[in-house]
Structure 1
Amino acid sequence: MPGDGPRRGDAFEHDLEVAALRPAFAKSGLELVEIDWRAPLDEFEGIALVLLGTAWDYQDHLAEFLEKLEALTARGIRVCNPPEVVRWNGDKRYLKQLAKAGVPAIPTLWLDDAGRSDVAIALDAFEATRVVVKRQVGAGGLGQHSFAHDALPESTWRMGQPCMIQPFLPSVVEEGEYTFVFIDGTFSHGVLKRAGEGDYRIQSLYGGYECDYAPAPSDLATAERVIAALPFDDPLYARIDMARLPSGELAVMEAEMIEPYLYPQQGPELGDRLAAGIRRKLA
């Protein structure tokens, strides 16, 4: 979590997560200490395991973030999830690998940069009325844009960095986005995330909100296919975000293993599950 300075509008999620984890960890004989990831290495002295949480500015400083995780690992501190997972997961091109493994995916145009003409080309290629442009290294919907045939960007507009263009899925607004939280490879709980009035983004920064969600067996099986396709053995935690395609099948939007908010309000056993997982990692 960024240290000094103004708190983000969604920092309450960090507070909710810590409030859920701290007593569960204490019950399991673990102490939870909050440390800014930029803190000097000496401040991590005596810590057995670093649990990556709400490090919500990593996407703007990925090389520096990875360097710190590697330094912690070199000191013999267990990092969850490990630097190699973060390196793979930090760039959304990992979605290509999941798609090749047979995971249902959203059609995507991958670009080193994008301008007005690229948006127009994507709209035609996807036969879509609207597209979304996202950063390849990004999080929280920050720096994201949505355009339509009758609402193209200005002629001088540039994304200014590697990006991805996807057709907008109406189901995100009509139905919501689904989250499946896995701890040590085992399903923990589901969340239905809805966009606020007048927006399509489901993050609380933009008025989004969450509801309880008990997935149908077929939807859970699709999320489990994502977990099975990961090139790592059971990360401590993984948050699989999915949306429904026009075909009715869920498609992966994110397989988040770096900094996710794990929705403790929808998963009352999250603290106990994570504490048990940490004990297994340290055993």
Structure 2
Amino acid sequence: MKIAFLACPATLPGSPTRRPDAFEHDLYLEAVRAGLGARGTVTDIDWRAPLETLAQFDAAILGTPWDYTEAKDEFLVRLGELEQAGVTVCNPLAVVRWNSDKLYLKELGERGAVTIPTLWPERAGPADVLAAFDHFNTDRVVVKRRVGAGAIGQDSFSRDNPPPANWSIEQAAMVQPFLPAIQSEGEQSFIFIDGILSHALLKRAAGGDYRIQTLYGGVELPLDPAPTDRAAAEAVLALLPFDQPPLYARIDMVRLEDGRLAVIEAELIEPYLYPEQGPNLGPLLADGILRRLG
């Protein structure tokens, strides 16, 4: 079997624009290759490569196409083209389309998931932030893009340090109260392959920061989750609006002040799946892809 590991210039080896955290690409790719073994080949390739080149693969896994957030519509069109060409895309277009706008979190909440209270301005300016302080009865909020990843374009403001008058997010946004647990405990990530928990980890921010990504100094630690925490993540997975679980899902959760875990993201497009903390990840992914190929 020939598997394409879709990537982008910011992650491909040898690229002059490669990001400093693109080592995650290398670790993820090697895990999939090792898991597939002699059963096939895995090639990392730009998702914008010519369609005739990509159509020669049996399957495509959305590895590290990290720039899709700046070209969402183009990315969705490309995945549709691949599926029409007979390439098995993991995760498929229908899943990616649903997951590509963080408004899906509102739907999950309506379906019964424990979520973080959120306001959904189509564009965010200083007035939206000031109103959110009173709406949430909080002294600090976080503002994110609805189409985004890796905390890029994200800001946090407090009543003592409000946004400057010229600040704005000129695209669909979301505003949430800042949760102290993101600094005191960290963010828990649960990696599911075909609906079964593979492994979990705790992500902690560097001192003084709240962003848990390695790009900002965050660290990841293996986690043996408490039964109630594992059940909370499994409950979110069960609420996804699909007939069967996606090949991979990373459910990111943070603790509310009442002790419950709330979903902060259900990552189904190109999440890093942390093979360092999950030594069985590669074989599980490879087996899942091959099952989809029959």
TM class by shorter chain equals over 0.9
Contact 2:29 2:63 in 1 (8 A): no
> What SS does the aligned partner of 2:149 have?
coil
1:2 aligns with 2:13: no
Q: Runs of 4 or more off by more than 4 Å in structure 1?
A: none
Match in the other structure for 1:99: 109
Aligned equivalents of 1:9 and 1:151: distance in 2?
30
Match in the other structure for 2:92: 82
Query: Paired residue for 1:267, among 278, 287, 291?
Result: 278
Q: Counterparts of 1:116-265 in structure 2 under 5 Å?
A: 116-232=126-242, 233-265=244-276
Q: CA deviation at 1:5?
A: 3.1
Contact 1:30 1:275 in 2 (8 A): no
Q: AA paired with 1:59?
A: T
Structure 2: tracts of 5 or more residues without a match: 1-6, 10-14
Contact 1:110 1:164 in 2 (8 A): yes
Query: Paired residue for 1:15, among 22, 26, 39?
Result: 26
Q: CA deviation at 1:22?
A: 1.1
Aligned equivalents of 1:45 and 1:122: distance in 2?
47
Q: AA paired with 1:251?
A: A
Aligned equivalents of 1:80 and 1:16: distance in 2?
18
CA RMSD of aligned residues (A): 0.9
> What SS does the aligned partner of 1:212 have?
strand
Query: Paired residue for 1:41, among 32, 41, 51?
Result: 51
Aligned residues: 282
> What SS does the aligned partner of 1:255 have?
strand
Aligned equivalents of 2:50 and 2:57: distance in 1?
13
Q: CA deviation at 1:93?
A: 0.2
Cα deviation digits, residues 39-81 of structure 1 (max 9, x gap): 0012124311101111111111000000110000110111010
Q: CA deviation at 1:156?
A: 2.1
Aligned equivalents of 1:164 and 1:52: distance in 2?
25
Cα deviation digits, residues 163-218 of structure 1 (max 9, x gap): 00000001001000000000001111001000012210000111111000011111
> What SS does the aligned partner of 1:220 have?
helix
Q: CA deviation at 1:30?
A: 2.4
Structure 1: tracts of 5 or more residues without a match: none
User: Normalising by structure 2, what TM-score?
Assistant: 0.94
Aligned equivalents of 2:262 and 2:233: distance in 1?
9
Aligned equivalents of 1:270 and 1:161: distance in 2?
35
Aligned equivalents of 2:263 and 2:55: distance in 1?
38
Aligned equivalents of 1:165 and 1:8: distance in 2?
27
